[in-house]
Structure formats: structure tokens, C-alpha cells
Amino acid sequence: MNNKEKERFHSLVNKVNPDILLINEPNQEWANSIKKLEDDFPYSIKCPQENTYGMILLSKLQLTESSVNFLVQKDIPSIFTKITLASGIIIDFYGVHPEPPKPGSDTYERDTELLIIGKRIQKSNNPTIVAGDLNDVGWSDTSELFREYSGLVDPREGRGLYSTFSVHLPLLRYPIDHIFYTNDFGLISLQKLEDIGSDHFPISITLNYEPKTDNNAMGANSFYEKAFVGEKLEL
């Protein structure tokens, strides 16, 4: 919410031109600015907040059964929606931003939210993407337990850290912004994008829907879906 660089954000969105855009930490001022994107993204779920836990999802693809949920704390939302791909396939999408551990406290709230979502994914058995600021590194006990529950793929494995936080501390950066997905998808590309004035770098991923194949390998198939995840800190 301290990011004043709205035009840098909009310029990057126009350049990347994603199908799905998840924005973390927007407040109402950011939400007003983001309205200019609505012609390009006709579907949206909006929950701007003034506490750095706002969330907005914009999509060129149809969204259905959408909801903003407060799974653990009444002021920390997550997003759930179904996304209809160009082929007509419907996938589940979760946008998340659990609270980080406070000094002297445990990780109960964060862990609980992730495990609730992990169990839902396990029970649904649907093609699924989870994206957002997890306030946790991918190799932590919590992240590993979440992936065990959900069965999701971490595209970083074997490819690098893609450390996104903090932009301002080059020697102390951690990969806490994540995109996980079920093995119905193949990875085409994963990129850490340019600085847009936030204290997090945005992440861009391009996935290929290809169920019943080895989706840990790089490759292309029939058609592509792009998701651009950025941490937008308010002005």
C-alpha cells in the first residue's frame, strides 16, 4: 500500500498482457486506478482493504462461483473462483495472502488457512491453481505440508529460487510469492518481472493445460493460459 508507481504497474500489465491478473494489497485508491483495466479484463473479484490484505482478481476468462472468503481471520480475505479456459475446461483458482508470523508467535493462522485450502483441493480433485503471497518460503514445513495435502506442483523445483521479497534488500531476498498447480498443467515459462515500485517483484507464469501427461517437464502443447501475480503495495 506504499507503492506510488501506478503507471509503472499499468505499463507492465499492458506489456505482459496476461489472461489472469492477481493483485495483492490493493486499497480503495489502488482499486480506483485499476478500473482503467476493466475493458481488457471483463471479469473481476474485488476486495480492496486498508490493512494491506486487500485482493483483486482480474480475468479475461469467465469467472463463475466466485467468492471472497475469510477462512481464519475476519479481516484477511482469500479468493476462490472457477475459471473457464478457452477450451471450455473449468479449473479452480485460489488467491491467498495469509498473515505472516508475528515476533514471538507461532504460525497457526497462516498454517491453518493453507491447510484448509489444501484439504479442499484434495477433496475436489479438480484442475487447480493457487497463487499469492504465502509469507513463507517454498521449502518450509508449512509449504511442504500444504503441497502434501493438496498434491500441487511447485514450478521452482529444479529451476531456481525466483526470490521476490524484498526488492529493497538485494542480499536478503526470499521466495515468498508463489504459484502452485495440479499436474493437469505443464509449465511453459516462469519469470520474475521488473520492479514496479512495490517491495515485491511481480511473478509471471505461462501454463499449458495438458492433463494425464508428465507436467513437470518444460514444453508446449495445444493452447496456453497466462497468470501474472503481483504484490501491489498502496500509495
pTM equals: 0.84
Domain chopping of the chain, boundaries: 6-231
For the residues of 56-79, what is the DSSP string, one character each? EEEESS-EEEEEEE-SS-TT--EE
Q: What pLDDT sits at residue 103?
A: 47
Which letter does DSSP use for residue 98 in this model? P
Per-position b or e across 156-184, b if 16+ CB within 10 A of its CB: beeeeebbbbebeeeeebebbbbbbbbbb
- 89-113 confidence digits (pLDDT tens): 999 999 999 877 554 445 555 567 8
Q: What pLDDT sits at residue 173?
A: 81
User: Alpha helix locations (H) across 77-131?
Assistant: 108-124
For the domain made up of 6-231, the CATH class stated in words is: alpha beta
- 200-235 confidence digits (pLDDT tens): 889 999 999 988 655 554 443 333 445 554 322 111
N-to-C CA span, the chain: 5
Q: What pLDDT sits at residue 136?
A: 72
Q: What pLDDT sits at residue 138?
A: 62
